[in-house]
Structure 1
């Protein structure tokens, strides 16, 4: 019985480690993006957007810093295959995994009860 309990605990720890490893690149991309945008570094922020999200802005490097995006505490991360959501204090980001890594699909998003999120930047 004790061996079975140890196996269950070990499997749970392994699963938690995998889930954490899956979320780390998502959180890292979100934090780098918000840091660049918050510091007025439009170029680096735009390079972390998905191509479609970057094209949605007339002048990405200028507009992305005027949206008011700022680093904030991460409150939750959800990953579904190649899609992810990062919930922060006062903001939500949506990401997609491309061959070159995770990119921001939508930022400055606020939930609306019974409706899709409303986002300042989105693909």
Structure 2
């Protein structure tokens, strides 16, 4: 009997530990979702306000490098050009947020952004993205 009671108590304790861990994991996903959404919203507001330096700071390093290389200019000028050529459209309000570990997709009214989480927070890895049936998104700004 004592062994049975011990096993029963151990199973209950393990179940409780899993439940607590699950609650913490849900909180972590929700926190990542909220943080990704906040970064995407900031990016959209900075785009609308013409704050090119802040847009550059919000880009992931590889995305910024590719943008500068493609435009053959510094990031601020490349961002300005992307806005003028509608490669970085006005985004509008957030419609949906999907998070997969350290990656996220934020769908806005006029744009879709992809983000990755870095030690300093979420950074935009692709912007000006349009869905295409049965194909990957086409993005005006993307990393290499």
Task: State yes or no: 1:67 paired with 2:79.
Answer: no
CA contact (8 A) 1:106 1:122 kept: yes
Equivalent residues of 2:127, 2:140 under 8 A apart: yes
Indicate if the aligned counterparts of 2:111 and 2:129 stay in contact, CA closer than 8 A. Answer: yes
Structure 2: gaps spanning 5 or more residues: 1-19, 69-73, 84-88
Ranges in structure 1 where 5+ consecutive residues have no aligned partner: 1-10
Taking structure 1 as the reference length, the TM-score comes to 0.80
Instruction: Give the RMSD, CA atoms, in angstroms.
Output: 1.9
Residue of structure 1 in register with 2:121 after alignment: 101
Structure showing greater Rg: 2
More strand by share: 1
Going by fraction, where is helix more abundant, 1 or 2? 2
Name which of 80, 88, 104 aligns with 1:84.
104
Aligned residues: 111
- Given that residues 43 and 55 in structure 2 are in contact (C-alpha distance below 8 angstroms), is that contact kept between their aligned partners in structure 1? yes
Alignment TM-score, normalising by the size of structure 2: 0.69
